[in-house]
Amino acid sequence: MSYIRAENLSKQYGSGDAAVMAIHDIDFTVESGEFVSIMGESGAGKSTLLSIVGAMNPPSSGKFVVDEIDVYRLGSEKRTDFRREFIGFVFQSFHLVPYLTVVENVMLPLTTIKANKKRKRVLAEASLNQVGLAGKEQRLPSQISGGEKNRVAIARAIVNDPPVLLADEPTGNLDSKTTHEIMGLLQRLNQEGTTILMVTHSQDCATYAKRILRVSDGRLIEGEGLVEALCLDRKIPLTGAGGLMLRA
Amino acid sequence: MNLRDIAFKNLLRRKAKALFVLAGLAIGVSTVVALISFTDAMTENINHKLEKYGANILIVPKTENLSLTYGGLSLGGVSFEMQEIREQDLTKIRSIKNAANVAGLGPLVFGVVNVEGHRVLLAGVDFEANWVLKPWWKIDGAIPGENGVVLGSETAAVLGLNQGSPVTIRGRQFIVSGVLKPTGSQDDQLIFMPLKTAQGILNKEGLVSMAEVAALCKDCPIPEMVRQISEVVPGAKVMAIQQVVKGRMETLAQFKKFSYGVSIVVVLVGSLVVLVTMMGSVRERTQEIGIFRAIGFRKSHVFKIVLLEAGFISAAAGILGYLAGFAVTKGAIHLFSESGGASIQPSFELIGGSVALAVLVGLMASVYPAYLASRMDPNQALNAI
């Protein structure tokens, strides 16, 4: 069985004449250790899809299963625990807490777990080290660059070693060089075993994924094979086994 | 990093809001502290002052007749024509259990005499005791010696006598040593002379017509003292002047009620300030709370963060409020206590009470904002990830 399974996911906002179907009957699976991009135009439903995958937005119908856990059959607080243990979030605008230092921001997901402060700090520092931000632990978010904020957000997302990482436009506000650094970082995390689902507008970023899900008008319109097509279309050389690993 | 750290750091970051809540609560607590401290200090002070109101227990001979006088108006003859009390019985009052509460004991002997063609009531009094029993007395002149008298203001006017005038009473010459300033009481119509002299003139040696007792008010059990005095002076009727006792109690009770009323209103206003500010703070932090919820903070964790913030500020407000209240009370006592008799000492009970009150009010006022924060939907809070 696949690690992540979405079965006939639909989400309707509002009711009656004001009802809007954000996504219709979406089915997909993601294997453990995959790196999947979700692409689509604005309003296509990709953010709704990601929020459902993030266990934060119950679908109107359908089923969403992670590691054989039917996520939306869990109670609200159990689902919160699920998010803490299974999912790391990298938000589009980083969403760092402005009054906490870099290391404290990274420690946030560890706040509610039972471990002493020293242990939490060691984990946070290791995570920061992993994203190349060692030495900047005591800075406030306002004292670091956009790329560094993104790295802090990634460090926070991986500090408790979640099996799944969800990223929403993680490079949306970054320059080209920093974008590639961040994408390289996500790719490295994926190589280390983290399953990644990433929403992006950028075809260039999408090429870092092994597979692309394209959403249009709330429906999944393309599946596997798109990455290759995209790469051929943009003349990006394919590398790696089976042509799926695009960049080393 | 724990929930406490997050709460504390948020307070440091939002200093203006924190200070607003702090001020709202501190003002409430300081008002309560000031009113309680002021009431206590003034109660003590008023008790001291009430002691100066004079006699609050009367000892009169037992009689089967009912008095036919009211407010100095006699409708059935003078009611002083009655049995007397033995003066030596009164000395036993100094040995009752609550003798320490007896601030003054003033025996009086009365009799009617003819002076300058007028029938006048003569009163023999203990002038020393009278300073305690009737502190409002002011004499134009001097306290009389053995051959002197003091005239009530109306008596002096009716008889046409002044300080230094000679006056003959029952064939004995006296000098008017002074005239009592108007008191508004029956004393204005009497002639006063030392007790022993009056007893001699009225042929009532060793006897008194009545006695007045000034009992210290603070913690003094007036009914109990009445009982004790009745036991040692069996031939007398001992009465508490209920109006005075009840009057003081009612005055203090009213003042306390007023204080509590004001305190409740101020605390309610303080709690509203906390509620409104915390609601604003929670709304401002929608996104931040969304992040917390998204990364795995349970509702209870968010609830706890908001309450911890309220708790920190409230505890600080309690201490600050106590200090401010203490300072205000000191100032108020300085202003209102003319004699300087009232004072205030730091009270650890009140400090503890202030902190407890502030924390209780702060937490109660923050429960609803904390509830709203905890119920925040992470998806909506983040406007969808």
pLDDT (tens digit per residue) in A4-58: 999 999 999 888 888 888 899 999 999 999 999 998 888 888 888 888 999 998 9
Number of cross-chain residue pairs from A and B with Cβ atoms under 8 Å apart: 87
pLDDT tens for B151-197 read 999 999 999 998 999 999 988 999 999 999 998 888 899 999 999 99
For residue B3, the chain A residues in CB contact (below 8 A) are 111-112
DSSP 8-state secondary structure symbol assigned to residue B340: S
Q: What is the pLDDT of residue A150?
A: 86
| B8–chain A nearest CA distance, Å | 10
For residue A80, the chain B residues in CB contact (below 8 A) are 293, 296-299
pLDDT tens for B66-104 read 666 655 555 554 444 557 888 888 888 888 888 877 888
**Is the pLDDT reported for residue B315 higher than 80?**
yes
Residue A60: band (very low, low, confident or very high) from pLDDT cuts 50, 70, 90: very high
The C-alpha atoms of residue A103 and residue A152 are separated, in whole angstroms, by 8
Q: What is the pLDDT of residue B247?
A: 67
Over residues B209-222, the mean pLDDT reads 74
Percent of residues in chain A assigned helix, strand, coil, to nearest 5 = 40, 25, 40
Alpha-carbon distances of A199 from A2, A111, A154, B167, B385, rounded to whole Å: 20, 27, 15, 118, 10
The beta-carbon neighbor of A81 closest among B9, B288, B296 is: B296
Percent of chain B with pLDDT over 70: 86
pLDDT tens for B323-353 read 999 888 888 877 776 555 667 788 888 899 9
- Please judge whether B385 and A156 are an interchain contact, meaning their C-beta atoms are less than 8 angstroms apart: no
Class of domain A4-243: alpha beta
Spans of all domains in chain A: 4-243
Considering only CB atoms, which residues of chain B are within 8 Å of chain A? 1-3, 5-6, 9-10, 12-13, 287-288, 290-301, 377-379, 382, 384-385
**Is the pLDDT reported for residue B298 higher than 60?**
yes
Query: Would you state the structure tokens that stand for residue B271, as one six-digit string?
Result: 């709690």
- Please judge whether A109 and B296 are an interchain contact, meaning their C-beta atoms are less than 8 angstroms apart: yes
Place of tokens 């724990």: B2
Helix (H) or strand (E) holding A48, with range, is helix A46-53
Query: Would you state the structure tokens that stand for residue B295, as one six-digit string?
Result: 């990364």
Global pTM value = 0.68
The C-alpha atoms of residue B37 and residue A218 are separated, in whole angstroms, by 69
Residue of B281, B292, B293, B295 to mutate for A, most A C-beta atoms under 10 A: B295
Q: What is the pLDDT of residue B360?
A: 93
The C-alpha atoms of residue B10 and residue B304 are separated, in whole angstroms, by 13
The beta-carbon neighbor of A107 closest among B1, B287, B293 is: B1
